[in-house]
Chains A and B, each alone.
Chain A
Amino acid sequence: MKTWALAIFTLKETIRTRTMIIGLALSFMYLAFVPVLSSSRSGPAVVGDMEMTTAAGRDFLGFALGGINFMGMMLAIFTTLGAIYTEVDKGTILAVVTKPVHRWQVIFGKWLGHALLMGGYALIMGIVLWAAVSIGTGTVLWRFLPAISLVCLNVIAMVSITLFFSTFLPVIANAIFVFMLFIFSSNLRIINAIGQTSDSIVIVTVANILRLLLPVSEVSDLANLSLMGKSRAAELAGAEIQTFAPRIWVFGYEMLYIVGAIMLSILVFRKKDLR
């Protein structure tokens, strides 16, 4: 009950922040413009025996999924950056940690609030688009559901890692750290490509191991693959997707990654002087 009270409180608090309001406004604009933005991609959409409208709907959802994934992760970062550090800095956390709650409950309640909000955001955005496409094309694309679930997982992973850094880093330092990690993990395909062209197994292996530092890019690829299918995904991404393909087990790893980030947050916060 206490953890739940903290989670709901965090959710209510975050949803009122300027960051969240701007994020939601941008999201609605994106929803309005996504048909226009995705039209350039739906040209050669017929794959196999799939009907033209269904293929166009799938491509549309694929494009939208990428947008939801990106916006969800950005919002997750911006709304969670000061989750712990700012509360400690402002002193608002003092009245909470001195109540009969364990420190792990404070962390878990905060995480749960942010995860529910951001996971819910990605899920609702996805479901709205999915329902619209299903009605528009007359075909229900069931493959979208695992894909949007992976996007939700991605968003929650970003919440978790940002929350972890917020237990000891101020907002700006946290932002720099998380974005560096995000940009680095998103561009590992370049290192992989270098390894491929130079036939270096070492470089390719290193690139694949480094993907585990922040698995969101790989899970994004997995979500896209799950929605589009192998051939269409390869068609859209070129040869890259073949050489740097997402590993199927990465979603399980991302779940463990989330658990690990929460555990580390609790470990750091458990005996921290809050002054």
Chain B
Amino acid sequence: MPAAIEIEGLTKVYGYGVDEVKAVDALELTVDQGEVFGFLGPNGAGKTTTVQMLMQIIFPTEGNGKLLGKPIGDIMAREKIGYLPELFQFHEFLRADEFLDFHARLYGIPASRRADRIASVLELVGLGESAKSKIRTFSKGMLQRIGIGQAIINEPDLLFLDEPTSALDPMGRRDVRDIILDLRDAGTTVFLNSHLLSEVEMTCTQIGILNKGKLVRVGDMESMVKPTLVVDIKVDGLNDETLERIRDLVASVEIDGDDMKVIVRDEDQVKMLARMIMDSGAEMRQFTPRKQQLEEVFLQSIEESS
């Protein structure tokens, strides 16, 4: 089975001479089928540019790639690819069912299957009762849902979602998240372009972090986030000798006044850390172990690459 996404040296340069800007710089990436890939990065990192190159909205300056084993832009491959652009703009004069019918026709879905497929997609995105409503009357949440509807009308094997929850309230975000999880369960590969880390953390199986057009980190969510434990400590009177022993034991120590943030390698180290501080005679006012959040991984990756 070919990878869902294979990118080799993808580069996009805007401007010329002194105005030249590399929006995406020699990007190499492979995403296997069935993964939900979270593509993270600060604003202007090149996330949307990358997706737009993969969807051939814009053309790469250099490099190439494959989607579902076919070169970027292959029409046959696109029949199994869905795409929701960032801040999706609609032809608002249409009704919800007319809108999906138009997109189903563009996917070449035969007339015999269209009506059933439109009805089931409207149900899936929670708009079954709004099928005959004009899109211009929809709320932001409903617009985003009908936008996802057009992207999955073809039952895609690969789905690109560019900031699908950025304009939504918490309820809308939860709805979109549920749709992504349903698609993941159905085996669809999802490429989720987002800067909402909590969304990515809850839905993705793999993540890649992009900064200034370069991929600075990529891997499984499990290996990148979950095994890492952070301990937030507030302590008075910790001597230098104990501090050195702690540094030798754990992965990293950050000190800010009385506050310490310690990253440990496993749960045993948490116990050893507590014992060391207690044995040193220091006064411990707080000792809070927690799992490292994606946000910390993200910020660390961005800082290191900057």
**Chain A interfacial positions (CB closer than 8 Å to B):** 1-2, 5-6, 9, 12-13, 16, 90-92, 94-102, 271, 273-275
Contact = CB atoms under 8 A, between A and B. Distances in A.
Nearest to B162: A94
A95 B105 contact: no
A274 B106 contact: no
A1 B105 contact: yes
A12 B99 CA distance: 12
B105 A5 contact: yes
B105 A275 contact: no
A274 B78 contact: no
Given A99-B78, A102-B75, A94 B85 contact: yes
Nearest 9 A-B pairs (CB), nearest first? A5-B105, A99-B106, A100-B78, A273-B58, A91-B89, A94-B85, A98-B83, A98-B55, A100-B79
A274 B53 CA distance: 10
B292 interface: no
Interface string B79-115: 1010101011111010000000011011110000000
Contacts of B78: 98-100
A101 B106 contact: yes
Interface class of chain A by DSSP: loop
A183 to B, nearest CB: 33
Interface string B26-69: 00000000000000000000000000100111110000000000
Interface residues of B, number: 27
Given A94-B89, A275-B57, 18 more contacts: A2-B105, A2-B108, A9-B91, A16-B93, A91-B85, A91-B89, A92-B89, A92-B90, A92-B91, A94-B57, A98-B81, A98-B83, A99-B106, A100-B78, A101-B75, A273-B59, A274-B57, A275-B58
Nearest to B110: A1
Interface class of chain B by DSSP: loop
Nearest to A100: B78
A272 to B, nearest CB: 8
Contacts of B103: 95, 99
Interface centre among B85, B93, B105 (most CB of A within 10 A): B105
A264 B87 CA distance: 31
A100 B56 contact: no
B76 interface: yes
A227 B201 CA distance: 73
A100 B91 contact: no
Contacts of B55: 98
B19 to A, nearest CB: 16
Contacts of B59: 271, 273
30 contacts: A1-B105, A1-B108, A2-B106, A5-B102, A5-B106, A6-B106, A90-B89, A91-B85, A91-B88, A94-B83, A94-B88, A94-B89, A95-B85, A95-B88, A95-B147, A95-B150, A96-B106, A97-B56, A97-B57, A98-B81, A98-B85, A99-B103, A99-B107, A100-B76, A100-B78, A271-B59, A273-B57, A274-B57, A274-B58, A275-B58
Interface in B181-217: none
Contact of A9 (B57, B58, B102): B102
A97 B52 CA distance: 11
A106 to B, nearest CB: 10
Contact of A98 (B57, B76, B89, B105): B57
A9 B110 CA distance: 17
A91 B87 CA distance: 9
A85 to B, nearest CB: 14
A91 B91 CA distance: 10
B89 A100 contact: no
Given A5-B102, A16-B93, A273-B59, A100 B107 contact: yes
A257 B81 CA distance: 37
Contacts of A102: 75
B179 to A, nearest CB: 17
B213 to A, nearest CB: 15
A40 B79 CA distance: 61
A266 to B, nearest CB: 15
A100 B75 contact: yes
A96 B57 CA distance: 10
Nearest to A16: B93
A5 B147 CA distance: 19
Nearest to B87: A91
Contacts of A5: 102, 105-106
A233 to B, nearest CB: 44
Contact of B93 (A1, A13, A96, A101): A13
Contacts of A275: 52, 57-58
Contacts of B90: 92
B106 A100 contact: yes
A118 B148 CA distance: 34
Nearest to B89: A91
B166 to A, nearest CB: 14
Contacts of B79: 100
